[in-house]
Amino acid sequence: MKTTELVTTNMTRRKFLAYGAAAAGAAGFSGGWGGRASAAVKPEVYAKAEAAGFPKPKFVQTNGIRMAVYEQGEGFPIVFSHGFPELGYSWRHQIAALSKAGFRAIAPDQRGYGRTERPEKVEDYDIHHLTGDLVGLLDALKIEKAVFCGHDWGGAVVWQIAHLHPDRVAGVIAVNTPYMPRAPMNPVEMLTKMRGENNYIVYFQQPGVADTLLHENVDKAFRAFLRKSDLTAEQFAKLPADSPVRNFDIKMMIEAGGAAGGKYVCSEDELAYYTETFRDTGFTGGINWYRNIERNWKTTEGQPQKLEVPAMYVGAQDDVILPPSMQEATAALVPGLEMHTIMKCGHWTQQERAEELNTLLIGWMAKRFGRA
């Protein structure tokens, strides 16, 4: 497979994230772990995080759900939107740095994750609900406008909130996730043809299957996910077209667990925060975001392609899922876009290269909005 094919495939993933789709045949599936997050997580896990400076949650009502929110600092507000399988905790380094630099840093556990409620219906996780949650969060915190900063799926959410709720958006910062043109066909069908049935996004469409696989292998899953890649983007592009690694085969990734890949992007205590939380909540809430890919794609049809909003894109040189080569398309669609690439960095940028990312975030925020 040529490099151009690799870029096209990864662009497709961004398209589903941004414009998304309803669960192919999974509508109405609630999974085994719906409802409100319980208090079953070992208390010492959260206590260690708080002792290290991570704020205690406050709870707000937004868009029909109870949401856990972690915030710190004063000044112009910046709302952080996490990806899969992550939490508001994924932004711990940014909360600390941005609040210290004179900004109000806000990071929720988003719909379906962590200590935030998890509705039962798949369709309750579409892009309109996800963006509506963040608007409701602003209302609950009595904030008129904020900068929205997202990574991975969260990047898709913040690009879309600028379309769907432009009056509440002062700016957008996308970490790894480019803004792309609308997919020409159902993104899940497109990905199935390119990557096959075991690609994680395709696999996620089956009711209950991936939910069970991940919940029964929580430790293996996070030891497979939250680590630096042992391949550069150049090496990844040279893998055979049928390579399970290249096709992001979820079952292979789970089976490998901690036996494959580079160094972890977090400590054992930080890893425990994720594993204990997801052991309690399961993965269905987050997977349901993927089950709305087709629905999102359909309901955003006719949306303008260009986006007029102050924006910054920060790519990572060795992110093989969302490569920075896609930033050229983003620049064409977002006038005045500021672009950066963090070198020798993989997918988990805000944890893997926190200091470099924080410098870019603080610089952009200070230039645009000043410090408290």
Question: Which tens digit of pLDDT belongs to each residue from 189-244?
Answer: 999 998 888 899 999 999 999 999 999 999 999 998 999 888 888 898 888 888 88
Q: pLDDT at position 258, please?
A: 57
| Assigned token pair, 199 | 């690609």
**pLDDT in the model for residue 249:** 87
What does the pLDDT read at residue 190? 92
Torsion of CA 348, 350, 356, 359, to 10 degrees: 160
pLDDT over 70 (residue 22): no
Strand partners, 169: 146
pLDDT tops 50 at residue 117: yes
Span 349-354, average pLDDT: 97
In this predicted structure, which of 9-18, 90-99, 131-140 has the lowest mean pLDDT?
9-18
State the pLDDT at residue 262.
82
Report the percentage of the chain scoring pLDDT > 90: 72
- Picking from 204, 201, 191, 250, the residue whose alpha carbon sits closest to that of residue 26 is 204
**pLDDT value, residue 186:** 94
DSSP string across 259-310 = GSSS-BSS-HHHHHHHHHHHHHH-SHHHHHHHTTHHHHHHHTTT--S---S-
Q: Which residues are catalytic?
A: 152, 347
Other CB atoms within 10 A of residue 336 CB:
10
Exposure class string for 266-290: b at 16+ Cβ within 10 A, else e: beeebbbbbbbbbbbbbbbbbbbbb
Helix (H) or strand (E) holding 175: strand 169-175
Higher pLDDT, 243 or 313: 313
pLDDT digits (tens, 9 = 90+) for 258-271: 555 688 999 999 99
pLDDT recorded at residue 257: 66
Radius of gyration of the chain (CA): 19
DSSP-derived pairing of the beta strands 76-81 and 103-108:
parallel
pLDDT at 67: 98
Residue-range domains of the chain with CATH: 3-369 (3.40.50.1820)
Q: Tell me the sheet residues that pair with 339.
A: 313
- Give the per-residue pLDDT at 298: 96
**Averaged pLDDT for residues 306-329:** 92
Structure confidence at residue 8 (pLDDT): 35
Cα 130 to Cα 29, 68, 245, 277: the distances in Å are: 18, 14, 30, 21
Number of H helices and E strands in the chain, helices first, is: 17, 8
